[in-house]
Amino acid sequence: MSFRARHLLGIEHLAPDEITTLLDVADSYAALNRSDTKHATALQGLTQINMFFEASTRTQASFELAGKRLGADVMNMQMQASSLKKGETLIDTALTLNAMHPDLLVVRHSQSGAVSLLAEKVNCAVLNAGDGRHEHPTQALLDALTIRRSKDRLHRLTIAICGDIAHSRVARSNIHLLGKMENRVRLIGPPTLMPSQAAEWGVEVYHDMQAGLKDADVVMMLRLQKERMDGAFIPSEREYFHRYGLDAAKLAHAKDDAIVMHPGPMNRGVEIDGNIADDINRSVIQDQVEMGVAVRMAAMDLLARNLRARRADTSVMV
């Protein structure tokens, strides 16, 4: 067993064996979640606070359920509605919460780096639930678990990530994770949605979807934000779907057993054809949601173990 981190702020600083440990523990929680009694006690007595400075339904629900299944006391705070409107700074919010002695803090924020800034100021374990365009580590972990369970391995796969790479924290975390596990990662998207010098990340960059999908084992679609659809980054929704939307014809370039993934929520008819999303032989989108809860249970369990060990250490020193 090896997972040494104090916080889960990103994939960038995780070692491959830490990722494997997380996924192994998550596998056992996936089994628990399918059983009749979905309860464990790993977080019994601990307090988990979900702070979402950016609106989220799915991720927040997933974290909430994960905490409750492990016996934590879970509180949700809708930050966009509260203190920020009153002009309180992120640091003050963090200090206020810290004084309530939470054990696990789950944070989403619209600014890259905001979650690590907050983590510097609190005593508990912090989980990044998405910061700006930087990282979304539990999403990459749940994607990895879904791939591993579907393909029976998480190495030497060809994985195509398609869509708005430039603004996507999901893409960045996945690029880190899949690279660390020694996969071949391809990025596909129009140049206006591709970060400059993406090729220096150790990935292959394609602007032509057919070429990028050729012989891929996994096709990972990204959501295109509404505000980026008209004119500023791409000419129109329909031109985007024509060139970069995943339909049966484009998917035919991938391997016959290629799986299709999407972090949700989907724009049917923009980045993905509804028929593909619903094809139970290809789409693993529902499995991703299921694995999301398991991965978040695993991450909070492991962080809580480290937290308890650290507290035991310091109490000995005192």
Quick one: residue 113, left, alpha or beta (phi over 0 = left, psi -120 to 50 = alpha)? Answer: left
Which of 315, 302, 307 is CA-nearest to residue 17? 302
* x/- track of binding to other proteins for residues 233-262 (CB under 8 A): ------------------------------
The edge-to-edge listing of strands for the beta sheet with 184-188 is 204-206, 184-188, 158-162, 218-221, 259-261
> Which residue type sits at 87?
G
Q: Which is nearer to other proteins, 46 or 114 (CB)?
A: 114
132 scored as a contact of other proteins (CB under 8 A): yes
Q: In the window 196-225, what residues touch other proteins (CB under 8 A)? A: 196-198, 200-201
Q: How far is the CB of 226 from other proteins (least distance, A)?
A: 19
Give the integer Cα–Cα distance in Å for 190 and 194: 6
Q: How far is the CB of 318 from other proteins (least distance, A)?
A: 28
3-state class (DSSP) for residue 205: strand
Chosen residue from 113, 191, 269, 274 binding other proteins by CB under 8 A: 113
133 scored as a contact of other proteins (CB under 8 A): yes
283: DSSP letter: B
Q: In the window 42-71, what residues touch other proteins (CB under 8 A)? A: none
Q: How far is the CB of 195 from other proteins (least distance, A)?
A: 4
Chosen residue from 5, 65, 75, 117 binding other proteins by CB under 8 A: 117
91 scored as a contact of other proteins (CB under 8 A): yes
Count of Cβ atoms closer than 10 Å to residue 179 Cβ: 16
Q: Which tokens hold the place of 94?
A: 């963090």
Q: Looking at beta carbons, which pairs linking 148-153 to residues 24 or more positions away fall under 8 Å?
A: 148/23, 149/27, 149/30, 149/287, 149/291, 150/259, 150/284, 150/287, 151/217, 151/218, 151/259
Chosen residue from 103, 131, 273, 301 binding other proteins by CB under 8 A: 131
269 scored as a contact of other proteins (CB under 8 A): no
112 scored as a contact of other proteins (CB under 8 A): yes
Chosen residue from 108, 109, 180, 262 binding other proteins by CB under 8 A: 109
Q: Which is nearer to other proteins, 13 or 311 (CB)?
A: 13
How far, rounded to the nearest angstrom, does the alpha carbon of residue 298 sit from its chain's CA centroid?
14
Q: Which is nearer to other proteins, 67 or 130 (CB)?
A: 130
Q: How far is the CB of 135 from other proteins (least distance, A)?
A: 7
166 scored as a contact of other proteins (CB under 8 A): yes
Q: In the window 10-29, what residues touch other proteins (CB under 8 A)? A: 12
Chosen residue from 76, 111, 210, 306 binding other proteins by CB under 8 A: 111
Which of 312, 132, 275, 157 is CA-nearest to residue 220? 157
- The backbone torsions φ and ψ at residue 180, rounded to the nearest 5 degrees and listed phi first, read -60, -35
Q: Which is nearer to other proteins, 68 or 121 (CB)?
A: 121
Give the integer Cα–Cα distance in Å for 115 and 129: 9
Residues 184, 158 contacting (CB under 8 angstroms): yes
- The backbone torsions φ and ψ at residue 224, rounded to the nearest 5 degrees and listed phi first, read -100, 120
> Contact region for other proteins (CB under 8 A) — 28-36, 65-73, 165-173, 205-213?
165-173
Q: Which is nearer to other proteins, 109 or 148 (CB)?
A: 109
Contact set with other proteins (CB under 8 A): 12, 89-91, 109, 111-114, 116-117, 131-135, 166, 169, 172, 195-198, 200-201
